[in-house]
């Protein structure tokens, strides 16, 4: 799972070894920042609601934001395999790699995670679940339990009005553009401040 994202290159690199709590999917990037590849899923139900996660900054617990289900790609995994695994771990819902469309979007995000500035190159997939049922958090890691506050389905009209930050920026409109299907073009997203 990722925390809040903000765009931009040139964030200051942090010297020293990577903290062990970041996990094996993080390496030191060319810019000196901890870096990993990530897989995210725009998960829609049969009512065209999107499933989002709300997390908070460990250094600023009063600040929280919403983001799509997903996280880091483990060594030896493909982005699709990671997306399937992350959906199950974070929600208890089963999707198959064949049910994923895309990647529909990509982005490179710089954000604060575990008190570090990090970079994650993300691939976003689209999937639908019919009558999803109850969500489960039993697959959450200790790190996720430390910064994730809730998981819930959002109606796109309601999401467009939410006062908290939502990542990627303009998500309600982006998802609305996928409701009638994906045209096969992978779009690279930029992030605003």
| DSSP sequence for 40-90 | EEEEE-TTS-EEEEEEE-SS-TT-EEEEEEEEEPPTT--HHHHHHHHHHHH
The C-alpha atoms of residue 85 and residue 139 are separated, in whole angstroms, by 10
Give the burial string for 88-126 (b: 16+ CB within 10 Å, else e): ebbbbbebeeebbebbbbbbbbbbbbbeebbbbebbbbb
Residue 188 within a domain: no
Residue 99 within a domain: yes
pLDDT for 2 beyond 60: no
Residue 103 within a domain: yes
Residue 190 within a domain: no
Residue 3 within a domain: no
Number of domains making up the chain: 1
Average pLDDT for residues 66-73, to the nearest whole number? 92
Say what the pLDDT of residue 12 is: 33
CATH of the domain at 54: 3.90.79.10
Residue 10 within a domain: no
Give the lowest-confidence range in 25-29, 35-39, 124-128: 25-29
**Domain of 172?**
23-176
The C-alpha atoms of residue 7 and residue 26 are separated, in whole angstroms, by 19
Average pLDDT for residues 11-39, to the nearest whole number? 62
User: What percentage of the chain has pLDDT greater than the value 90?
Assistant: 49
DSSP single-letter state for residue 4: -
Q: What is the pLDDT of residues 143-189, one digit of tens each?
A: 666 667 888 999 999 999 998 889 999 999 999 999 999 999 999 99
Residue 168 within a domain: yes
- The structure tokens 């796109």 sit at 156
Residue 160 within a domain: yes
Give the lowest-confidence range in 71-80, 130-139, 168-177: 130-139
Say what the pLDDT of residue 38 is: 92
Say what the pLDDT of residue 191 is: 60
Say what the pLDDT of residue 154 is: 96
The C-alpha atoms of residue 83 and residue 69 are separated, in whole angstroms, by 8
């Amino acid at each position: 799972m990722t925390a809040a994202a903000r765009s931009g290159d040139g964030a200051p690199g942090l010297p020293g070894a990577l903290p062990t709590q970041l996990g094996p999917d993080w390496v030191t990037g060319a810019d000196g920042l901890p870096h990993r590849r990530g897989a995210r899923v725009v998960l829609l139900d049969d009512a065209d609601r999107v499933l989002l996660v709300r997390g908070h900054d460990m250094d600023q617990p009063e600040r929280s934001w919403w983001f799509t289900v997903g996280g880091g790609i483990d060594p030896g995994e493909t982005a699709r395999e990671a997306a399937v695994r992350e959906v199950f771990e974070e929600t208890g819902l089963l999707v198959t790699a064949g049910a994923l469309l895309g990647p529909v979007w990509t982005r490179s995000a710089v954000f604060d995670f575990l008190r570090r500035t990090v970079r994650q190159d993300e691939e976003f997939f689209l999937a639908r679940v019919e009558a999803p049922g109850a969500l489960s958090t039993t697959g959450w890691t200790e790190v996720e339990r430390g910064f994730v506050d809730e998981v819930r389905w959002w109606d796109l009209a309601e999401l467009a009005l939410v006062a908290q930050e939502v990542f990627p920026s303009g998500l309600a409109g982006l998802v609305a553009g996928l409701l009638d299907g994906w045209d096969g073009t992978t779009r690279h997203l930029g992030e605003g401040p």
